[in-house]
Every structure is written in structure tokens, then in C-alpha cells.
């Protein structure tokens, strides 16, 4: 693609690095930002730079935070005895949006992936083990809420090995099953199979 200006081309190439943004969309965004009020474009650039430079991670759960301790860890009303282990901050946001979970979190920062060269030492696993094994720990349940991919299952298996020696801590995994409104016949075989194997007894 030919651009009338090197400045536009630079902006397009930077925008096109973003996930899901192709060159055409990048050009449309760049031209939009060029036509917008100067303050609008400058505020966007400043917000992005400020986010990148100023963001911190919670020292306890490693979720994104504006201070040393995130809002969830600092909240005395949450159940600090139950820890939900997720791979990514996006999972924290998704679970929070359900409004169904009152415990706290631990963000691994990824999953074990030999292909991508990500091993256990690259993830926040040691801090989870020491958090749950500390003498003054009140943690009695750890819920593994990791996506059921091959890497996710490897990570969950590794975590269960590391955590099984903690006598006070019960390990559980999130139930896997048919999505709400989903039709049984369209569920893939693995999901349907797991839904049967991990069936729940109905209260009488």
C-alpha cells in the first residue's frame, strides 16, 4: 500500500501491529485520528502511554492493579480462604462479571507451553505455592479455572502435583459442560463426554 505521507505510514504500521487490525482498518483509524480534535488524539496517546508506564501488578494475586494491592485482595468482604487460579487477567474480569464468585484470585500470567518455551518458572506458580503453604495462610480451597486446552490441562496437572502436599487445601476444578442455551447435538464430543462424566447430582 502506498501512503501519501511517511507520518501516516508510520501510524498505520503501528496500529496494524494490534491484534485483529489489518492495514485497511489501521489506515481508517489513522485518518480518523488525524481528522479528530487534536485533544482527542493526544488524550488517546497519553492514556496508552500512562497505562503502559504506570500500571502495576498486585503483589499477592498478580492481577493488574493501580497500587501494590488490588481492589479484590484489599476487600475484607471477599472470602480470602478460596483462591481461583486463572491464566490471565481477562479471566478475572470474566469471572467477576458473572457476579457469582466471592473468593480471591491468583493470576499465573500464562500457561505452560513447551512449544512457546514457557515453563513453570516463567509463571506465577512458586508464589501460589508459598501463598497457600504459608503458616498464617487461611486458604482452604484452590479452584483451578484454566482453559481446557492441551497447555491448560498440562498446567492444571502440574499445579495439582505442586499443591497436593498442602494438607489444609482442597483442590477443585471448574465444571466443564454445555454452554447456556447450547444444543446438545452441537456440543463437541469432548465437552459432551465431560458433561456426562462430571454430572452433578440433583438436590431432592
Output 60 or 82, the one with its CB closest to Zn ion. Answer: 60
Residue 63 beta carbon to Zn ion: minimum distance, rounded to whole angstroms: 5
Residue 89 beta carbon to Zn ion: minimum distance, rounded to whole angstroms: 11
**What does the radius of gyration of the chain's CA atoms come to, in whole angstroms?**
22
Output 60 or 87, the one with its CB closest to Zn ion. Answer: 60
Strands 56-57 and 64-65: antiparallel
Indicate which single residue of 12, 15, 27, 58 sits in contact with Zn ion (rule: CB under 5 A).
Answer: 58
Output 26 or 101, the one with its CB closest to Zn ion. Answer: 101
Is 73 a binder of Zn ion (CB under 5 A)? yes
Mention every residue, 6+ apart, whose C-beta is less than 8 A from residue 102: 77, 78, 79, 82
Asked if residue 72 lies in contact with residue 93, where contact means CB atoms within 8 angstroms, the answer is no
Is 82 a binder of Zn ion (CB under 5 A)? no
Asked if residue 79 lies in contact with residue 102, where contact means CB atoms within 8 angstroms, the answer is yes
Is 70 a binder of Zn ion (CB under 5 A)? yes
Q: 134 to 193, contacts with Zn ion by CB under 5 A?
A: none
Residue 59 beta carbon to Zn ion: minimum distance, rounded to whole angstroms: 8
Is 61 a binder of Zn ion (CB under 5 A)? yes
Output 12 or 106, the one with its CB closest to Zn ion. Answer: 106
Output 63 or 155, the one with its CB closest to Zn ion. Answer: 63
Is 60 a binder of Zn ion (CB under 5 A)? yes
Output 61 or 89, the one with its CB closest to Zn ion. Answer: 61
Residue 44 beta carbon to Zn ion: minimum distance, rounded to whole angstroms: 28
Judged by CB under 5 A, which stretch of 5-13, 68-76, 143-151, 184-192 contacts Zn ion? 68-76
Residue 65 beta carbon to Zn ion: minimum distance, rounded to whole angstroms: 6
Contact residues for Zn ion, defined by CB under 5 A: 58, 60-61, 63, 70, 73
Amino acid at each position: 500500500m502506498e501512503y501519501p505521507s511517511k507520518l501516516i505510514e508510520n501510524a498505520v504500521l503501528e496500529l496494524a501491529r494490534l491484534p485483529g487490525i489489518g492495514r485497511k482498518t489501521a489506515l481508517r483509524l489513522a485518518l480518523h485520528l488525524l481528522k479528530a480534535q487534536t485533544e482527542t488524539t493526544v488524550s488517546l496517546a497519553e492514556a496508552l502511554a500512562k497505562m503502559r508506564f504506570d500500571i502495576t501488578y498486585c503483589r499477592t494475586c498478580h492481577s493488574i492493579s493501580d497500587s501494590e494491592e488490588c481492589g479484590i485482595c484489599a476487600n475484607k468482604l471477599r472470602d480470602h480462604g478460596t483462591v481461583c487460579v486463572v491464566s490471565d487477567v481477562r479471566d478475572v474480569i470474566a469471572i467477576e462479571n458473572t457476579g457469582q464468585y466471592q473468593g480471591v484470585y491468583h493470576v499465573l500470567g500464562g500457561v505452560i507451553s513447551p512449544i512457546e518455551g514457557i515453563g513453570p518458572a516463567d509463571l506465577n506458580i512458586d508464589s501460589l505455592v508459598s501463598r497457600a503453604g504459608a503458616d498464617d495462610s487461611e486458604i482452604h480451597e484452590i479452584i483451578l479455572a484454566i482453559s481446557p486446552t492441551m497447555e491448560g490441562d498440562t498446567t492444571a496437572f502440574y499445579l495439582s502435583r505442586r499443591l497436593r502436599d498442602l494438607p489444609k487445601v482442597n483442590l477443585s476444578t471448574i465444571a466443564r459442560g454445555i454452554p447456556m442455551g447450547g444444543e446438545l447435538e452441537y456440543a463437541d464430543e469432548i465437552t459432551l463426554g465431560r458433561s456426562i462424566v462430571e454430572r452433578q447430582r440433583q438436590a431432592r
